Amino acid sequence: MDEVIQVTQWLSSITPRKKAKLFFFTTHADAPSPMVGSNDVDTHEETQLPLATTVALHNFKNIDEFLKKKVNTFSCYNVIENEITKTDYEYLRFYSACKYLDVVPPFLDLEKISAIQNKFEMTDEERDYRLLLDSADLVLEKVCDSLKPAGVSQMWTALRKDRNLIRGVKTIDIIGFFVDPNPTGIKECLFFFIVRFLQKADKINRVNTNRLERLIAQCDESSSCEEGKTIDFIIDSLRFYPTELYPFGFCLIMCVIEGRDGAMQEIEKTMEISRHLGMITHTEKNPTKETIELVKKELMKPKYQFYSSITCWFMSHGDSNSMVLADGETIEREWFLTSFPDISTFQLKPKVFFMVSCRGANKFSLKGDEFEGQSATCDYYDIGSALIRNRMLDITDSVRDISYVQPMMDTLVAYSTILDHLSGRANTHGSIYVDRASVLMSENISRGRSLTEILEHLSQDLHEILQETMDEDRIVYKQACHYDSFFRKTLKLPYTRHPKEDVHSAPQ
């Protein structure tokens, strides 16, 4: 059959709503840059003009033309070995979006998909199409599905009132002030236009969504929300880190085995919980400084930008400042923690570090210790809430910026013990902290709990356990864990437990 006819038939089989979503997923706002084959031109018209004209004219002609152009580009594309291009990235995004929406063109060359995945050095697990979807876009799709056409129309009206933001934007004028979002697919096009416009204007990104939340907050709940949804529910969905679908993220396990009884048990437990969470896992036994440098280099490869989060378990002996590696050398804990968050492939994504090692030799001994309760008060606690509101700064959009991000942002570091203290372990089972963390995470999958809630529960659970030193003194003591958080959103555990045998292969 003629290819033109095939494309026409394929487009005619897709509903308007799915066309709008396919366009949205395909014109992903955070495509990696710079890429081979990218001319770094402004893609404003490519991503927004088809949406604007579709909303204004109530037909999908321009979106159809865009999708036809994509299909024709991919049809003629020759996969070049060892060189990742912009088209490679777009091809993978297009394929994953089609797969997600169940509209894969029957004529799409899946061998090219496999060849591109080879260039990205993807393992069998990483060839699952869900990895290629952008989790932030999936969250925005759910927000759109939760709103009625009237709700999106109210968001548009609120956006149009911001004269400074829309001044001189031609696509805004194409749509006009009053919009009828009721025809099938128009609501989606208008919502996705608003999202892409705010992203291109540097007002929102995958972490900073305040500007979008403010538009939604101005909607009338009775007329704007689908059944069973509320304005608060929709806004709350934007306040979690986007980690939709499989995988939940990438998990790196580094464990020094030499001289650490039960270390293999630690590896087994952390691997098991990472699989249950739906994470793709890599393990490094007996890491050295050279190993760490190689891992950092590996994580800079393009394929890791498809992951929505990273979790690292580092288990070794240590003291207040350092961790002992397999070859007896030490690395500064601070150096380790500040070098990984700066990796560009995980920018604006949650980065969690579990640091399991002693941080000194002190013990919270239960023998003869007495503690006197202390309290502290400050005058500022007496300030009434009304007075606080009156003294608050008026923070306008003109003094807000989301373009520059301090590297440690979106990072959480969980320590198995507090500074200068021991981190307890059992001869056969390894770290008690790792054991309890694995149990609590496993128990709380599917319960909608956040990581910080679980860490707080872990802190309570661990501090109840009586431990004993392994030396001749046999001192009974308690261990206290804690975490430092630079999170800007809440990280929830996934709702689905992924079994060990859940293996995803490349497209056939």
Residue 505 has pLDDT above 70, yes or no: no
- Sign of the Cα pseudo-torsion (276, 278, 284, 287, in order): negative
Closest Cα partner for 120 from 344, 346, 303? 303
Cα Dmax for the chain:
88
- What stretch of H or E contains 310? strand 310-315
* Both structure tokens of 384: 């009434």
For 103-137, write each residue's pLDDT tens digit: 999 988 999 999 999 999 999 999 999 999 999 99
Q: Which amino acid is at 153?
A: S
Structural domains in the chain, sorted by start = 1-28+44-239 (no CATH), 249-365+406-486 (3.40.50.1460)
Mean pLDDT of 466-479: 82
For 246-273, write each residue's pLDDT tens digit: 888 999 999 999 889 899 999 999 999 9
Q: By the 8 A CB rule, do 419 and 481 touch?
A: no
Provide the pLDDT for residue 83: 84
Provide the pLDDT confidence category of residue 375 given band limits of 50, 70 and 90. very low
Q: By the 8 A CB rule, do 397 and 281 touch?
A: no
Other CB atoms within a 10 A radius of the CB of residue 393 amount to: 6
**Alpha helices, DSSP H only, in 300-450?**
333-339, 385-391, 432-444
Other CB atoms within a 10 A radius of the CB of residue 223 amount to: 12
- Mean of all residue pLDDT scores within the chain: 86
DSSP class of 78? P
Whole-number Cα distances in Å, 181 to 37, 145, 173, 286: 37, 13, 16, 59
d(CA 268, CA 84): 35
For 211-248, write each residue's pLDDT tens digit: 999 999 999 999 999 999 999 999 999 999 998 778 88
* Both structure tokens of 119: 């260039």
Provide the pLDDT for residue 368: 47
For 329-370, write each residue's pLDDT tens digit: 999 999 999 888 778 889 999 999 999 999 988 877 665 443
Peptide bond into 247 cis (omega under 30): yes
- Strand runs labelled E in 381-424: 411-415
